[in-house]
A and B are shown apart, each in its own frame.
Chain A
């Protein structure tokens, strides 16, 4: 019994804690607030649920396609996706093998990559190493705007302008140049159709569409290389080009490879522009100069008009194949790009 006149003093032994009424100290709201750390538990549960939802979408895409294509997978087995000389896709007889589409997808994308990689790396070098500061940002933006043009607009422009003006002469040139050479003549068997609709057209449109992807990532990879590398190369008396070619590119090689693979992934899955210019022929030929059908353009053309459940299932299996291929490519690419980013300490970056 010490101080009585000052209430609420913390050392007052006579205060009965139960009689002090902090408003709603034991009300439901206060209890709720305490038990949830003033809402933080709820908040963290909420954001974890949202994160899981996003992750679940990725898993669910694969799972649903896998589950729904069961019939086709069981019926055709691995023959559905493996290379065969004469793959049949016959909805009337119910026989489905997708190698022809996989082949077209791969050949158009690979050709697009072959065209796009030197161009993109050249642009990346220009933007990262040579370009005057004043025009760097506008140039960056313009290259990236190429990726913002909707793919149907590419398709429309392709059909009416790009095919007749650029693709047809290029195709004829390729036919004349390579059509007679023994090993290459099946790849360049022509002549190219007058409309220009061909795998070559798809490749060339894809080239334009994947340049921004490869350029942007390669440029970032080059910019992430420490300045010490540049200084060392220049100090040893190399020219600028030797520095770029013999020091910077080998240093960033895995990152650039990642960029190329990401570009490849984008080319494989591109649908609308390719569907509009590739001619959508189901004939199985190997030539770049003839019309064909890619996996994505087959889906765009036939999925709505499927004639039987098996037809739908087979096309879902094509979708699954496409998903798995792009998934694997993306994983490889991300790991490569991350590897470069991790190897370079943050402080050393230019």
Chain B
């Protein structure tokens, strides 16, 4: 669906503050994928995704949506921004309407849809993020809790009916319940609504639970691209890149160092539970 070909981006080109933010990135993201982008602060994650919907224009290389260069002449970039929904950090700071429903309907109305269609879309989007419109639609967005405001902002993007949803640190600042609810909704959107999802986060636990594939950025370069389990297998590299492992994966590795033969590539509590039980059973029968 999205393809980057040798994408390079330079901020402040021709000024003394010129910084090469992305270097020679080539990769594709398919229409049904759920992909995590991880990397240290300043590694280029947010810069990369702003190319996916044409907010930034490559300095060199190309970005293609369905095999069409999004900066080719006569490409309607408003249509691209409708198809590729991008949520920045703290998107709730951009809520502004008097009611939740009006706020969520703002995007579709702006697309030129008639009022009743815009409202129908807004209601569907609110339903999708777990804010039933009958209960939440007429409230002020500013009277919602932090997690609810975040989900209302996501509904605003979903109401555009995008094919891909890009979320930049969507759980930052949310309490544990708000975080879990939001991640569950993202998982469901991907599964039930055939939405491609790109998740930028510092939470290794979140990508382990949600993403099938990880892209790893380091100083503007794509240094790893593969299935989540495979990426987390290269521990020394991740540590060198200022990243880490999910808690349960870290535990499995520490247990192995102590001689308990636990499978080292577990990604969640359930996998860790099974792996530890099996390892204890093996040790119970073995010479130790």
Are A and B associated in one complex? no
